[in-house]
Amino acid sequence: MRLAAAVAILAIVSIIGFAIDSIPPGSAQESEPGSGDGPLFHDVHFHLTNYVQRGITLSEFLEIAANDVGRTAVFGIPLQQKWDYFESGDRAPDYYLHSDSALYYYSFIDAMIAEEYLALSPERRERFDPMITGFNPTDMYAADHIRRVLEIYPGVFSGIGEFSIHKEFVTSKIAGHAASLRNPALDRVLEFAGETGLAVILHNDIDTVLPTGAPEPVHLEALREVLAAHPDATIIWAHTGLGRFVAPAADHVELLDALLSDEAFSHVHCDLSWDEVAKYIVRDETSLEAWTALLERHPDRFLFGTDSVAPSGRDGYLKTWRDYAPLWDRLSEPTLHAITIGNYERIFDEANRKVRAWEAGE
Ligand SMILES: [Zn+2]
């Protein structure tokens, strides 16, 4: 009798042991504070690969994101950091600030992203909105590249970007003509985005790395002209124009408020992404109050994004979300929901509907 009982207990223990082993890694991950019924956020700004086109798979990303992230606007980085032996010898740079050699546009990234997406089950594809980035915005043929990608990969892409015009330490490193807001090639790209319904994520620093002392950040006026010229395109301005070194001017929040309050820019949104930008926003009480008031005044115009690049683990990926916590804590529930969930769904559901219709020739 006692032997039978011991055998039974042993059997039960081994079954439980087996069950625990068969749970895939990551699913038992402890979820982030605040995540209850449904995802914490949709990520409008995620780079699957880095500046040397290396990264993780979408399946690996889903393990890292677990249930905390709903949908993700996923793209690569349209620039390759060249490994020039004569510049760095056997040292292989993988970031633009680790090398003096040039960057060049890398169009194959769009095929890489499409293949990753198509390798997923239909159910898992629901969690991604892939974006086209592999074009040179100084090339009048850039819009043709975007059209070609849509035609070769119908049913896959929802938008274009993140692509950059003025970006600190990057624009000047790109081989060939420097990207500019005055280049008609950019207008052709934004026109095509308006025609197809592709959502646009545009990186354009609001100012130079070292402010010039001009009354207004130097790139703002030209940016306003470009944005106003393309009311049909849904444009998300990455990082509200800030960067690692491009810091907010004293009246940065007022400048954003003026832009977003102007009817001519009702098609323009901003993403709150990159931990290098979060540092400015949460730095002190005054800044937090100003940004909280701005977001409460324009709750439908801001979207959260991590700007994470090929993360190797959960903590790295969630760093930006956690860095913004002091801001999230101050927002009203409806505004927090709009910025983390609602605005993303509105913009990308609309983009997917329009782009699929365009692909179907409707
Ligand atoms: Zn980015």
Q: Domain containing 153 — which CATH number?
A: 3.20.20.140
Please report whether residue 62 resides in a domain: yes
pLDDT in tens, 255-314: 999 999 999 999 999 999 999 999 999 999 999 999 999 999 999 999 999 999 999 999
CA of 33 to the centre of ligand 1 (A): 25
Asked if residue 77 is part of any domain, the answer here is: yes
Ligand 1 geometric centre to CA of 45 (Å): 6
Ligand 1 midpoint to CA 6 (Å):
59
Distance 21 CA to ligand 1 centre (A): 37
- Residue 222 in any domain: the answer is yes
Mean pLDDT by 10 residues, the chain (362 residues): 65 57 47 70 98 98 96 98 98 96 98 98 98 98 98 98 98 95 98 98 97 95 98 98 97 98 98 96 98 98 98 97 97 98 98 98 95
* Ligand 1 centroid from CA 86, angstroms: 29
Q: At what angle do helices 343-359 and 142-152 cross, to 10 degrees?
A: 80
| Predicted pLDDT of residue 4 | 73
d(CA 157, CA 201): 13
The answer to whether 310 and 47 are in contact (CB under 8 A) is: yes
Q: Give the Å distance between the CA of 162 and the centre of ligand 1.
A: 6
Distance (angstroms) between ligand 1 centre and the Cα of 300 equals 21
| 72 Cα–ligand 1 center, Å | 13
Cα of 12 to ligand 1 centre, how many Å?
A: 50
For tokens 């060249």, name the residue. 82
Average pLDDT along the chain: 93
Ligand 1: distance of its center to the CA of 23 in Å?
33
How far apart (Å, rounded) are the C-alpha atoms in residues 128 and 135?
21
In a domain, 174, yes or no: yes
- Residue 312 vs residues 34, 54, 55, 57, 177: alpha-carbon distances, Å: 23, 12, 9, 11, 34
Structural domain containing residue 216: 41-359
Calculate how far, in angstroms, residue 47's C-alpha sits from the geometric centre of ligand 1: 7
Structural domain includes residue 193: yes
Q: Give, as residue ranges, everything with CB less than 5 Å from ion ligand 1.
A: 162, 307
Interatomic CA distance for residues 128 and 241, integer angstroms = 25
Ligand 1 centre from 288 Cα, in Å?
Answer: 23
Q: Please tell me the total count of domains within the chain.
A: 1
The 3-state DSSP class for residue 68 equals coil
> 2 in a domain, yes or no?
no
| CA–centroid distance, residue 190 to ligand 1 (Å) | 19
Inside any domain, residue 29? no
* Predicted pLDDT at 7: 66
Say if 12 falls within a structural domain.
Answer: no
Residue 176: DSSP 8-state: S
Distance 299 CA to ligand 1 centre (A): 22
H or E element in which residue 79 lies: strand 79-81
pLDDT value at position 309?
98
